Structure 1
Amino acid sequence: MSNSHEHHHHHHHPARYGKAFAAGIGLNTVFIIIEAVYGFFSDSLALLADAGHNLSDVLGLIIAWAAVLLGKKLPTKKRTYGYKKSSIMAALLNAIILLIAVGAIFLEAVQRFAHPQPVAGKTVMIVAVIGIVINAATALLFMSGREHDLNIRGAFLHMASDALVSLGVVVAGAIILITGWEWLDPVVSILIAAVIFAGTWGLLREAVDLSLDAVPAGIDTDEIKAYLENMPTVLNVHDLHIWGMSTTEAVLTAHIVRSQIEDNDALLEKLEKELHNKFGIEHTTIQIEKGTYACGLAPDHKV
């Protein structure tokens, strides 16, 4: 049972991120205003462009926060699972926004190779240092949750990648001021774009998986099936499905054939508790069968 403790109790995490989101959105909005004002008065296109880029970060944080808040809404007759899936949609949307940002950085770097431009001045570097502090501080607020919640990882990646971009501006700017190597600016941009792409690709892949109701990462279907089949009086387990209701909550449904069904409630209580504690399954639905009829969903290829 190597992975069995990974998901336990993660559904309590998102609640404490309200302050983190509020702080991140507030800090970054102030920073965007500073950048836009400085950029406008110092005629710096680089600063105005970065203010625009930071706006996508605030958008990313708002999307992630909205998903956390929606996830808390109670189920309705129409939406029987509530809005829990919104955290998966937010992670997917954030991955797409990040990939668009990576494409924009890469394109701009390639254009700068073809048409070198004067490098960022001291003002731009000072503002970039402020950017590193604000973005890194915001990223740290989401650091602990990024392992267990894809939506929080999306928020973390947004802020960490922006801190990285600002760091690139400062380092490249400082070296160019000393050496005069103008080509370093686009090279650093391309390297940063590659690093962000590597981080975002995993986020995108996992978000797509969860959108398609794949088994969440860290949950082993074979291990769970073996556990269910090893229960006393269980003859067969079929129509087993495990998927993510949200970025933190897994759902399981299964048909279990038993040789005796008198103590069903005791078994169901035990399974619900142990599937939660050992495998992190939040929501369990089990159909008990006596095996006196041929279940149409018994074959593995039937869904």
Structure 2
Amino acid sequence: MGAGHVHDHGTAASRHRGRLVLVLAITLAVVGVQVVGGLVSGSLALLADAGHMLTDAVGVGVALTASAVAARPATDARTYGLQRAEILAALANALVLTGVAVWVLVEAARRWGGQPEVATGLMIGTALVGAAANAASLLLLRRGRRESLNVRGAYLEVLGDLVGSLAVVAAGAVIALTGWVRADALASAVIGLMILPRAWSLLRDVVDVLLEATPRGVDLEHVREHIRGVPGVLDVHDLHAWTITSGVPVLSAHVVVDPGWIDTGRSGEVLDRLAECLAGHFDVEHCTFQLEPVGHQAHELAHHP
């Protein structure tokens, strides 16, 4: 006999949609300011930072679209709805970030041998505007980054933008004080190198979800011990835990029950205690258990731990 306990199918990103919209508006406004400032001042670093912020805006836009799609109800054809769309959006963000990093590094290498003129006053002023906007966006996303991969991706991107803007300010100051124009290309390279680790971190987490890896913080051996400690339970096998999307971990298991509990009609009590155990100790509220009598495992086609 199997039973599922479902409490909340709302995704983590959907709870922070309003903040994502505000961050998107701020980011697009700053991109416009930085593009104009970069073209007028002749600063590659400022244009690189604008390009980075534009990809962030696209990423946040994709995340918003994905969270809206993921909130659509489940159907018989898609029993979890489209919640995995958020993970695909995070994958797109990671790939775009990688592409931007490569472009910035190539441009920085090309500019290294040149002697471009840079209007440092405009360069620094524009970068400071971007830094202030990025700081405001970080405050908006700070809480949601612990709950959703998409919000975390947006947070990391904005954090990178803030550091990038500060790098542009530093480069402008160096050029103004020393006349060393290569500081602009150097700052661009720093921005590019700064993007790559963030893209890799996000990509790694996305791959874990797509490969249905055990959610972080869930120790299956510890879960087995707790399940075996539930009254009426003799053993557990075919234990699996994975993540549908951010904030939606799920678990399934075959649970061997004492014949006395089955014969007296207390299977429902075992199910309730199993669900309470998983939700209380491991923060896994969507669980499916197959209750089995002793010896049933020998009749199953596949055996798992």
TM over 0.5: yes
Aligned residues: 292
Give the CA deviation at 1:249.
0.9
| Residues 1:56 and 1:166: Cα distance change in structure 2 (over 3 Å) | same
Q: 1:268 aligns with which of 253, 271, 296?
A: 271
Contact 2:49–2:165, Cα closer than 8 Å, also in 1: no
Contact 1:157–1:200, Cα closer than 8 Å, also in 2: no
Matches within 5 A, 1:37-186: 37-38=36-37, 42=40, 44=42, 46=44, 50-119=49-118, 121-186=120-185
- Provide the residue aligned with 1:231 in structure 2: 230
Contact 1:10–1:148, Cα closer than 8 Å, also in 2: no
Q: State the identity as a percent.
A: 35
- Structure 1, residues 215-245: CA drift from partner, whole Å, max 9, x if none? 1111111111121122233222111111001
User: Which amino acid is the alignment partner of residue 276 of structure 1?
Assistant: A
| Residues 1:204 and 1:93: Cα distance change in structure 2 (over 3 Å) | same
The answer to whether the aligner puts 1:300 opposite 2:304 as a matched pair is yes
- Structure 1, residues 31-66: CA drift from partner, whole Å, max 9, x if none? 2333445556x3747455554443211111111122
Contact 1:239–1:297, Cα closer than 8 Å, also in 2: no
- Provide the residue aligned with 1:5 in structure 2: none
- Structure 1, residues 225-278: CA drift from partner, whole Å, max 9, x if none? 121122233222111111001111101011111122231111111211221121
The TM-score normalised by the length of structure 2 is 0.86
| Residues 1:292 and 1:276: Cα distance change in structure 2 (over 3 Å) | same
The answer to whether the aligner puts 1:240 opposite 2:239 as a matched pair is yes
User: Which amino acid is the alignment partner of residue 213 of structure 2?
Assistant: A
- Structure 1, residues 98-148: CA drift from partner, whole Å, max 9, x if none? 222222222222222233433453212211111111122112211122233
User: Which amino acid is the alignment partner of residue 160 of structure 1?
Assistant: L
User: Which amino acid is the alignment partner of residue 209 of structure 1?
Assistant: D
The separation in 2 between residues aligned to 1:298 and 1:291, in whole angstroms, is: 17
Contact 2:70–2:84, Cα closer than 8 Å, also in 1: yes
- Provide the residue aligned with 1:26 in structure 2: 25
Q: 1:277 aligns with which of 271, 277, 280?
A: 280
Structure 1 segments unaligned to the other structure (5+ residues): 1-8
User: Which amino acid is the alignment partner of residue 284 of structure 2?
Assistant: I
Note the aligned Cα RMSD (angstroms): 2.5
The separation in 2 between residues aligned to 1:234 and 1:147, in whole angstroms, is: 34
The separation in 2 between residues aligned to 1:196 and 1:36, in whole angstroms, is: 19
The separation in 2 between residues aligned to 1:232 and 1:185, in whole angstroms, is: 68
- Structure 1, residues 188-241: CA drift from partner, whole Å, max 9, x if none? 333343333223322211111111111111111111112112223322211111
| Residues 1:20 and 1:130: Cα distance change in structure 2 (over 3 Å) | same
| Residues 1:75 and 1:201: Cα distance change in structure 2 (over 3 Å) | same
| Residues 1:225 and 1:114: Cα distance change in structure 2 (over 3 Å) | farther
Give the CA deviation at 1:12.
7.3
The separation in 2 between residues aligned to 1:113 and 1:48, in whole angstroms, is: 15
Contact 1:39–1:45, Cα closer than 8 Å, also in 2: yes
Give the CA deviation at 1:15.
4.1
Matches within 5 A, 1:250-261: 250-260=249-259, 261=262
Matches within 5 A, 1:174-213: 174-213=173-212
Structure 2 segments unaligned to the other structure (5+ residues): 1-7
- Provide the residue aligned with 1:291 in structure 2: 294
The separation in 1 between residues aligned to 2:272 and 2:66, in whole angstroms, is: 31
User: Which amino acid is the alignment partner of residue 296 of structure 1?
Assistant: E
- Provide the residue aligned with 2:5 in structure 1: none
| Residues 1:111 and 1:99: Cα distance change in structure 2 (over 3 Å) | same
- Structure 1, residues 64-100: CA drift from partner, whole Å, max 9, x if none? 1222222322111211101111221122221222222
